[in-house]
Structure 1
Amino acid sequence: MLYRLCLKRRDALLFLVLCGLVCLHLLLDDQPAAGLLDHQDDLQPLPKEVVFLLILCQVDGPAEGHAMASAVTRQLQQTRVLLTSALALTATRLRFIVVADSEELYSKLVALSTDFPPQYRDKLSFEYLPVWYPNDRLYMRNMFRECATERLFVPAMLPKEDAIIYIDTDFVFLRPPEDLWAHFHKFDSVQVAAMAPCLYHYGTSKNSQVPFYGPTGLNAGVMHMNLTRMKSFPDGGWLEANLLVFDKWRDAIVLADQDILNILFHKHPTLLYELGCEWNFRLFQCRDGENACPAAAAEGVALLHGNALTFATDREPKIKAVYDTWDQHELGTSIAALYASLRQNLRDATISAQGCSMLPDIDDVLSLQLLSFLKRKNAL
């Protein structure tokens, strides 16, 4: 009798343990995109996917050889390098929502990945979203550059998405994209977005006449967007708050969406999570021969931004060497080989002691994250 009672208690305990494990699995499986992890590393589960937003527009009907046509060609080529670097380093799926002003342009972007090896192409998916502006705001489409303000309307365009990362086409990953996504899970209970500090322009330029976030403003090249929380943004919601800012400061705005976002988070600083400057490293952070980003000096650049045509010109040979190395990389080739090529290309790019080349450790700043990636993977 006692033996049978012990068996029943053991079976009941096992049943409760199994139920607990099943519930835990379902809980983790169903959590929203912005609430899975506190920190991303090799010991923690990966997100199911990382969701990016790209915006690509062109003026209607540019002739071949026209400056706008060449600008679109440049953006497509930059996007291919962006995809290559992201896929080479990621261990999860990447989904790109592409806002484009034509299905033809969207198809050209998707075609960039057709020659990727299957094991990389299978981790990549695209979704098309046509450009949209409210009828009474169509004039905002041409501010600064074509569709630059489109992201301000994204929460209204993606009602079913929980969280996305907006990213310009002129970026190169030097650290896995899921590590960038993990910053969503460092948001406090009210923060709705993340951007990195500008470290230039705001407060130093005569052209900057608008209020801005923090001591140096924000750069809007990469932006975490918790779309769910944005629906409850003060002043009537995200879209309404941005339009109020635009209407008040219209005559002073120069950098379109970036100025608008700086004014907005100057007013609501507690709603912004400040992303580390290593996740948006640009020529302006080193071109004076000093590194304005201590985190990049210590651990290396995680995400390199080629704004101001840095990837398309030779104005900063060291930064362009990183882009060119990824441009020449074939997916499926080892990252160790890529790292060796990068170090060699950085050495070869030392052609003058000016700009970022004046930093004595610039080669390490631009390659240390890749070295750390290889060490974590025991791939050296």
Structure 2
Amino acid sequence: SRPNEIVFLLILCGVKRGRGDAQGGGGVQRQLQQGQVLIKSAAALTSQRLRFLVVADSKKVYNELVQTSTDNWPQNYRDNVSFNFVPVWYPPDRLQMRNMFRECATERLFLPQMLPTEDALIYLDTDLIFMRPPEELWHHFYNFNEKQVAAMAPCLFHYGTSPTSKTPYYGRTGLNAGVMHMNLTRMKHNFPDGGWIQANMAAFDQYKEAIALADQDILNIVFNKHPDLLYELECDWNYRAFQCSNGSNHCPITDTQGTSIIHGNALTFVSSKESKIKAVYDSWRHHVLGAPLRQLYTGMRERLREVSKLKLPSECAHLKNIDIILTQRLSTYIKNLVTDSFTL
């Protein structure tokens, strides 16, 4: 990547119209809309250059994502964001892996081979929203020691608790693969067991009958064997609905600092089962890039209050400070912008 350029990678695959379009895992409109909101949230909170690599099985869907994401943006935002199309690729002897879990979910395992000229990138699920500047996520690369090749946040759930989890996993609670730093250079040259791809394929071959969550399970198996090669992100960089359910906050750091990335996995952003998190997503969805961020923040707090007032479905609403947990990082960023403008 170029100096001061942040590189993200998204996967848009199996999103042919008519396949689960209403809401299901492969719905094209859902994936496109979530991708648009993710890209908007990243662009709104930085002045640095962002480059999005988009792995897609359709140039048409890729073009639609780029156009609908940036068409109505002010020019200064458009100038800061670029996109590259990356066609889907699997090794000929691994084509059966394409349809595991969700179509192309395992594609990221092959990125070091697919992207020979890229040094490092951050893989992002499309169902994420930034609540603080994306460069602060990128800066974790600088905290890697000389051996670490990847970073992910703890899963805190599923591994070791779910009857469907039957594979080895990293640490106490496993890793969630929705946000993943990948030092591709190190993966290409310094990985044990014959190399990055070979290590992942060996994990797949050994446990394929037990794998439930495709690439995430495979990555957990690999880093269970090589924990010293993983840098662990804090849970605020991958905050999911279950983390604020049952009346307790399973990611305590957010009690004092707030969430950095909200992850709407299991259709949280598009269903009405967790209205607090959906309120944050809807606020970002309706935000017009270039409008004051203070306006976004006050609208978001109002939507969150409405959820409590109308008693809309929400496990997270049982947490007294949930509105602050979800919005504090955005509030801090806005306050810092104001302070900086006074000191210029």
Tell me which interval the TM-score lies in, with the shorter structure as reference length.
over 0.9
Contact 1:289 1:354 in 2 (8 A): no
Residues 1:107 and 2:63 aligned together: yes
Report the CA distance between 1:278 and its aligned residue.
Answer: 0.3
* CA–CA distance in structure 2, aligned partners of residues 69 and 369 of structure 1: 29
- Cross-structure match for 2:321: 361
- Cross-structure match for 1:53: 9
Contact 1:62 1:68 in 2 (8 A): no
Matched position secondary structure for 2:53? strand
- Cross-structure match for 1:233: 191
- Cross-structure match for 1:326: 284
Q: Relative to structure 1, is the Cα distance of residues 282 and 63 closer, same or farther in structure 2, using a 3 angstrom cutoff?
A: closer
Deviates more, 1:350-359 or 1:204-213: 350-359
| Aligned-partner residue type, residue 159 of structure 1 | P
Q: Which runs of 4+ in 1 moved over 3 A?
A: 59-70
Contact 1:62 1:69 in 2 (8 A): no
Q: Relative to structure 1, is the Cα distance of residues 333 and 283 closer, same or farther in structure 2, using a 3 angstrom cutoff?
A: same
Contact 1:53 1:166 in 2 (8 A): yes
Contact 1:58 1:68 in 2 (8 A): no
Residues 1:337 and 2:295 aligned together: yes
- Cross-structure match for 1:200: 157
Q: Percent identity?
A: 57
- Cross-structure match for 1:12: none
* CA–CA distance in structure 1, aligned partners of residues 242 and 201 of structure 2: 29
Matched position secondary structure for 1:119? helix
Q: How does 1:183-262 map to 2 (within 5 A)?
A: 183-231=140-188, 232-262=190-220
Matched position secondary structure for 1:263? helix
- Cross-structure match for 1:121: 78
Report the CA distance between 1:154 and its aligned residue.
Answer: 0.5
Aligned residues: 336
* CA–CA distance in structure 2, aligned partners of residues 229 and 324 of structure 1: 38
Q: Relative to structure 1, is the Cα distance of residues 264 and 359 closer, same or farther in structure 2, using a 3 angstrom cutoff?
A: same
- Cross-structure match for 1:274: 232
Report the CA distance between 1:59 and its aligned residue.
Answer: 5.9
* CA–CA distance in structure 2, aligned partners of residues 219 and 321 of structure 1: 23
* CA–CA distance in structure 1, aligned partners of residues 21 and 250 of structure 2: 38
Q: Relative to structure 1, is the Cα distance of residues 241 and 174 closer, same or farther in structure 2, using a 3 angstrom cutoff?
A: same
Match of 1:137 among 86, 94, 114: 94
Contact 1:191 1:272 in 2 (8 A): yes
- Cross-structure match for 1:305: 263
Q: CA RMSD in A?
A: 1.8
Q: Relative to structure 1, is the Cα distance of residues 352 and 72 closer, same or farther in structure 2, using a 3 angstrom cutoff?
A: closer
* CA–CA distance in structure 2, aligned partners of residues 270 and 69 of structure 1: 33
* CA–CA distance in structure 2, aligned partners of residues 65 and 229 of structure 1: 39
Q: Relative to structure 1, is the Cα distance of residues 319 and 59 closer, same or farther in structure 2, using a 3 angstrom cutoff?
A: closer
Report the CA distance between 1:352 and its aligned residue.
Answer: 5.0
Match of 2:52 among 93, 96, 99: 96
Matched position secondary structure for 2:255? helix
* CA–CA distance in structure 2, aligned partners of residues 61 and 333 of structure 1: 32
* CA–CA distance in structure 1, aligned partners of residues 282 and 220 of structure 2: 32
* CA–CA distance in structure 1, aligned partners of residues 26 and 198 of structure 2: 35
Report the CA distance between 1:72 and its aligned residue.
Answer: 1.4
- Cross-structure match for 2:28: 72
Report the CA distance between 1:70 and its aligned residue.
Answer: 6.8
Matched position secondary structure for 2:159? coil
Q: Deviations over 1:165-203 (max 9, x none)?
A: 000100011000000000000001100000000000000
Matched position secondary structure for 2:208? helix
* CA–CA distance in structure 2, aligned partners of residues 334 and 157 of structure 1: 39
* CA–CA distance in structure 2, aligned partners of residues 63 and 301 of structure 1: 33
Task: List alignment gaps of at least 5 residues for structure 2.
Answer: none
* CA–CA distance in structure 1, aligned partners of residues 168 and 273 of structure 2: 30
Q: TM-score scaled to structure 1, two decimals?
A: 0.85
- Cross-structure match for 1:41: none
Q: Deviations over 1:88-113 (max 9, x none)?
A: 10120100001000211111111121
Contact 1:59 1:68 in 2 (8 A): no
| Aligned-partner residue type, residue 293 of structure 1 | C
Higher Rg of the two aligned structures: 1
Deviates more, 1:276-285 or 1:100-109: 100-109
| Aligned-partner residue type, residue 265 of structure 1 | F
* CA–CA distance in structure 1, aligned partners of residues 317 and 86 of structure 2: 40
- Cross-structure match for 1:157: 114
Report the CA distance between 1:65 and its aligned residue.
Answer: 5.5
